[in-house]
Structure 1
Amino acid sequence: MTELPVETGDARVDGILAGLNRLAGLPAADHVAVFDDAFTGLEATLAAMDEQ
């Protein structure tokens, strides 16, 4: 797996990406929900940026 940057420079995105750390303690069957949460959060963050 590719290493993610430590910080992106945007606290909202960094918080979402930090949530991916939950993957290590979960069975593979539960990974989809974690990625879905991250995708939803990133999508909402991008939408909020468009509204500014």
Structure 2
Amino acid sequence: MTEPQEQTGHPRVDAALAELDRIADLPPGEQVAGFAAVQQELQGTLASIDSGQER
């Protein structure tokens, strides 16, 4: 188990970081899909911030 992540103040980023903590406890074979989903969520979050249209 990993240490809890410090809050960033952005709900979607905080949720993604919490998901990374959860994924870290899974068997390695199950982590890949989780990491890909978190990466996609963070990418979408950054894109929405950059465009000024946060979801």
Fold shared, TM-score > 0.5 on shorter chain: yes
Structure 1 residues not aligned, in runs of 5+: none
Which has the bigger relative contact order, CA under 8 A and spacing at least 6?
A: 1
CA RMSD, Structure 1 to Structure 2 (Å)? 1.8
Structure 1 residue 48: Cα displacement: 0.2
Task: Tell me how far apart the structure 2 counterparts of residues 8 and 36 of structure 1 sit (CA, whole Å).
Answer: 21
Q: Which amino acid aligns with 2:29?
A: A
TM-score scaled by structure 2?
0.74
- Measured in 1, the distance between the counterparts of 2:5 and 2:14 equals 9
Asked if the contact 1:22–1:34 (Cα under 8 Å) also holds between the matched residues in 2, the reply is no
Query: How many percent identity over aligned positions?
Result: 42
The 5 Å alignment of 1:13-52 reads 13-23=13-23, 24=25, 26-52=26-52
**Structure 2 residue runs without a partner (length 5+):** none
How far apart, in 1, do the equivalents of 2:50 and 2:4 lie? 24
Could you list the structure 1 runs, at least 4 aligned residues long, displaced by more than 4 angstroms after superposition. none
- Report how many residues are paired: 50
